[in-house]
Structure 1
């Protein structure tokens, strides 16, 4: 079938994207689903910094590529052997398909699925196939999803069924922003009620983590960003202290407010300076978690002595250390109970044709979780 998709053919294009047009909405061919795959019709897709980092070249990917990795969709057709979803069902799409058989999957860590990670790096689906093309040119899949398309073929293992008790447009953010942010707090950090938490970087993932910290009973909860609009929102959502990262005394303010530093610090900005601030703001014996994705060449200079002498813990978190089939339903239930108000984090809604404008907003740092709505 012929679909419309936002295709990236060259990374590293300068801003403003509205003028340089790194993403071209094109008509491309989509083959039908093979064994273990499904055809989906997109409902909504989130604009995420992980997409932006591919556009800017911070995270190199094989090109040309149909971008987008966070979405909600409707099942149209299923391939042979698919038994977890059926036509007509609404799903949230997850950007790391899990094979269920490799060591990480069997250990309950599907975010680290080895075949899934390898397929994503090659721009393939989990089964090793490409279903996108234009004339004689193969179009690569982005994280097995390629959400900035009106239709896509994905692995059935990328699909998490969702009920009719949630707005299917709002459901789009559960596949990345919510999984990654809330999961970093709940699964990776395992924040205990009454412990202090710091959130550095208030994009869609960081703001989700902020809500996750509230839901976990953290107290106090501190938010850090370089944009005052984000700090104002964090305060409205319930943050006990907001600090501008541009303040040269930011760490001092945090340590004074918490009488020695936070129990848990979470970094979502994807920069070395943000990681340094998070680590420096963590108390003796505390835990620093990063879910940021900086450039592969960036190095964080860790003072090893403090790690040992202060018994600190540093953790990485990918996809929030989640088991999506378990956690997405849980997070949706928290949302419906009013304990995870994700709807407050959703920003502008764009048509696919305006996707470059949307990424200009994202690059400015002032947007919330903007969406492409089909």
Structure 2
């Protein structure tokens, strides 16, 4: 079967092989045929080492598919079921799960360190325990979450990462209420999803911030009330908030400079929501005096800030009832063999979400 992989960190392109075998099926696992997968910025982070991962590695973590076979002890899905690949499963029993913070559960970590593919006599790992850039994958049971009726495979794949991260950073972490003001810095797939969430939450002003003109146009088409380049953020904040600052600023880039901009654009007592994934050596450029004097709340948001299956269900219902049209997020469709072209489109900012045909 086909799969896209790297053998060492720092690779700028993926190698697509056609001799790959999915391995490891047995008790407590699910064999899934991937029907839809998409390229997420976190895959780039896995390639360059920002997100640590064992090597060699099959990339991909935003996907959905059909259950082909279930191992002994698996009861929540059956062959033929449609599932989202959930790269952050919750066990339901640990200290985080019993506190309602299943997104912080560590039960899935072992899957990231377990080989799941074989090619040319060499074993390969699954990125984030998923490895969706393959025609088929064997998952630990918790990584397969049922998809409700009325949600397409393409939409389900997007729910699997970027949409959940962006939409529920607004609902769960920020707690945006009707009439409040929101700015979103970084208008890739996660940032646009945050804009969708802010619109659905009833925000009065949603200002999108991105250096790429095409992304600003996308932001407006998805519900932003204004879209500006980074250098115009201060003027946009003055216009939208009367100089007070935004109630909530969502930072969806993961860089110290954009975090600084987010902090400056937030009103006293407001929320700075950090969604972007930065590097281990990227420090906050904020002093302790500023933190105490402004009483601005810095809120990291990991995968939507809630137990993932709960957020999946909420977003799936918004999709099913027509309140979220996720397939509009897909600007390009390519075969898995075109993965390196897709990487170029994402790096250049030309693509919002890229669907890969597996």
* TM-score bucket (shorter structure): over 0.9
C-alpha contact 1:7 1:26 (8 A) present in aligned 2? no
Distance in 1, Cα, partners of 2:352 & 2:116: 32
Name the CA shift for 1:214/1:156 in 2 (closer, same or farther; >3 Å).
same
Of 258, 268, 273, the match for 2:241: 258
C-alpha contact 1:227 1:244 (8 A) present in aligned 2? yes
Of 103, 119, 124, the match for 2:110: 119
1:327 and 2:311 matched: yes
The number of equivalent residue pairs is 357
Q: Residue 17 of structure 1 corresponds to which residue in structure 2?
A: none
Distance in 2, Cα, partners of 1:314 & 1:283: 12
Of 7, 24, 32, the match for 2:5: 7
1:161 and 2:146 matched: yes
1:196-226 CA-partner distances (Å, limit 9, x unpaired): 1111111111111100000111111111111
1:225 and 2:210 matched: yes
1:295-340 CA-partner distances (Å, limit 9, x unpaired): 2211121122222122210010111113222221221221232322
Distance in 2, Cα, partners of 1:253 & 1:196: 12
Give me the TM-score of the superposition, normalised by structure 2: 0.95
Residue 136 (structure 1) shift? 4.3
Of 182, 193, 196, the match for 2:181: 196
Q: Residue 45 of structure 1 corresponds to which residue in structure 2?
A: 37
1:149 and 2:147 matched: no
Q: Name stretches of at least 5 consecutive residues in structure 2 with no aligned partner.
A: none
1:252-286 CA-partner distances (Å, limit 9, x unpaired): 43234312110011011121111111111000110
Q: Residue 18 of structure 1 corresponds to which residue in structure 2?
A: none
Give me the TM-score of the superposition, normalised by structure 1: 0.91
1:128-157 CA-partner distances (Å, limit 9, x unpaired): x43322354221111111000000011221
Distance in 1, Cα, partners of 2:178 & 2:329: 23
Q: What is the RMSD of the two structures over their aligned residues, measured on CA atoms?
A: 1.6
Distance in 2, Cα, partners of 1:144 & 1:255: 44
Q: Residue 355 of structure 1 corresponds to which residue in structure 2?
A: 339
C-alpha contact 1:160 1:324 (8 A) present in aligned 2? no
Distance in 1, Cα, partners of 2:119 & 2:327: 37
Distance in 2, Cα, partners of 1:180 & 1:221: 18
Residue 164 (structure 1) shift? 3.4
Distance in 1, Cα, partners of 2:178 & 2:139: 38
What secondary structure does 2:19 align onto? strand
1:137 and 2:122 matched: yes
